[in-house]
Chains A and B, each alone.
Chain A
Amino acid sequence: MAPKFQIKVFQLSRFIKNFTIISVVTLSFLLVFFSKTDYYVLSGIKNLSSSVVIPITRFISAPINIFSNLIDEYNQFRSLKFENKILQEEIIRLKKWQTLAIQNSRENKVLKKLLNATDNNLILVKTASLINRNDTIYSKLINLNAGSEDYIKKNMSVINERGLLGKIIDTTSNNSRVILLTDPNLSISVKSITDGIFSLLSGNGDGKYLVSSFVKENKMPRLGDIVVTSGTAQIFPVDLLVGKVAKVEKNRFFVLPFVDFKNIDYVQIVTSK
């Protein structure tokens, strides 16, 4: 009886082994196959990863985070004296600008009244802060601490005080995922301020520059020209600051974004009116 029982147990364990391997491989194949077409399965996995996996990974990597913060504080402390000097000079310069800005603001208000113009075309949906970032290896993604419960929806624009950061690609109830401008898979339609040249920009892959993938009528903007969103694709609101033309080649040009992607703390999720 004993050898027969052993054979049965062996056969059962072999069946479990084969079943596991076949089901894992089949499931993986289906997931890969449907990952770009099926919305529900992929969004379910993304929800699970952002609500369960990300907090766990953050907890585990907390010591490295603390170490990184310590280095940051040490660097800041080292440059304190130098920064103080620069800031004092900056205060003097800004005071001069402030008086000029107040005058301009008054003038602007009067002119707007005369033209009957509206103030702004943006609606602020939510101000959120950064939870974690996945922008070192492969894609340029960040996660925010606000989600669908805060009325954040897919494709909404994300900005900070310097300009456009990216757009929302996924939302869960309390979190949302942002693809940054520097990601090669994000394209934005832009126009140059001085010449009004329309073009499409996408990430260059180096995380620093944006490169033009299409330029209307092959007209190249000038070096140093400021580039803003054109609003033609109806994803990003019009006139959001993007960057400055840093390099112009024969068929393409490079833009240096205004946003410092290494220093993102708080962002605003906006949509057009």
Chain B
Amino acid sequence: MEFSKFFNSTIKLNFILIISFSISVNSFILLPNINNSFYVLFHLTFIYLIFYHYHYYLYLVAMVYGILFDILLLNYIGAHIITFLSLLMLYVLLRKYLFRLSSFQIIFIYFITLIILLLIEQFLANQIHNYKFNMSSFLNFFLISLIIFVPTLFLFTKLDK
């Protein structure tokens, strides 16, 4: 009982963030979709944290994970840190409008944000670090997002009770 009290939903979501980050930056040759799935899950969790558990510590979280993703996946700082911080700032600007939306509309925006985030990361990686825009990789992310979106949302709402 005490244990579950100590681990509130924000801490649990941060644990998911750490686990999904760790798995997404370690490639498994036989299970490449595992990497991609956890990469998408990380983004889903991060957006969920911003939408439902916004706190200014998330700026630090965005910076740390942004730098680590950039260093480990791209070898240069840029694409992820810019995307994460831009999302946070955009959320602060649009928060008052988001509060007026219905739950269905929020879920729709949640999914669209995820796809745009993944798209912008690829675009920035292409523009800043000269990585080729990989359409098949993006479609793979999109398909994984479609598959895991509803179960993840269900899990998160369960965590939030």
- Check if A and B associate: yes
Is B49 interfacial (CB 8 A cutoff)? no
Q: Which residues of B have CB within 8 Å of A72?
A: 30
Residues of B within 8 A of A (CB): 18-19, 21-32, 34-36, 39, 56-57, 59-60, 62-63, 66-68, 70-78, 81-82, 85, 89, 125, 129-132, 134, 137
A42–B78 Cα distance when bound, in Å, is 12
B79 to chain A, nearest CB (A): 8
A20–B59 Cα distance when bound, in Å, is 8
Is A53 interfacial (CB 8 A cutoff)? yes
Is A110 interfacial (CB 8 A cutoff)? no
A256–B28 Cα distance when bound, in Å, is 22
17 new A-B contacts at CB < 8 Å, known A49-B72, A58-B22: A20-B56, A20-B60, A21-B56, A25-B85, A45-B77, A49-B71, A57-B25, A61-B23, A67-B31, A68-B34, A134-B25, A135-B27, A136-B28, A138-B74, A138-B131, A169-B75, A185-B129
A24 touches B67 (CB 8 A): no
Number of residue pairs spanning A and B whose beta carbons lie under 8 angstroms apart? 129
Q: Which residues of A have CB within 8 Å of B75?
A: 46, 139, 141, 169-170, 177, 179
Pick from A26-34, A82-90, A119-127, A229-237 the stretch touching chain B. Answer: A26-34
Is A137 interfacial (CB 8 A cutoff)? yes
For the residues of B in contact with A, the DSSP-based class is helix
Is A155 interfacial (CB 8 A cutoff)? no
Residues of A within 8 A of B (CB): 17, 20-21, 24-25, 27-28, 31-32, 35-36, 42, 45-46, 49, 53-54, 56-61, 64-65, 67-68, 71-72, 75, 132-139, 141, 169-170, 177, 179, 184-185, 204-206, 262-263
A136 touches B21 (CB 8 A): no
A65 touches B28 (CB 8 A): yes
B77 touches A42 (CB 8 A): yes
Q: Which residues of A have CB within 8 Å of B85?
A: 24-25, 28
B50 to chain A, nearest CB (A): 14
Question: Closest A-chain residue to B134, C-beta based?
Answer: A205
Most chain B C-beta atoms within 10 Å of own C-beta, residue among A32, A67, A141: A32
B63 touches A137 (CB 8 A): no
Which of B39, B60, B81, B130 contacts A137 (CB under 8 A)? B39
Q: List 10 A-B contacts (CB under 8 A).
A: A21-B59, A24-B60, A45-B77, A53-B68, A58-B26, A65-B26, A137-B73, A138-B74, A138-B125, A263-B29
Q: Which residues of B have CB within 8 Å of A60?
A: 18-19, 22-23
A54–B25 Cα distance when bound, in Å, is 9
For the residues of A in contact with B, the DSSP-based class is helix
Q: Which residues of A have CB within 8 Å of B89?
A: 25
A9 to chain B, nearest CB (A): 16
A136–B30 Cα distance when bound, in Å, is 11
A177 to chain B, nearest CB (A): 7
Question: Closest A-chain residue to B84, C-beta based?
Answer: A28
A57–B73 Cα distance when bound, in Å, is 13
B74 touches A139 (CB 8 A): yes
Q: Which residues of B have CB within 8 Å of A185?
A: 129-131
B27 touches A133 (CB 8 A): yes
B35 to chain A, nearest CB (A): 4
B20 to chain A, nearest CB (A): 10
A263–B134 Cα distance when bound, in Å, is 23
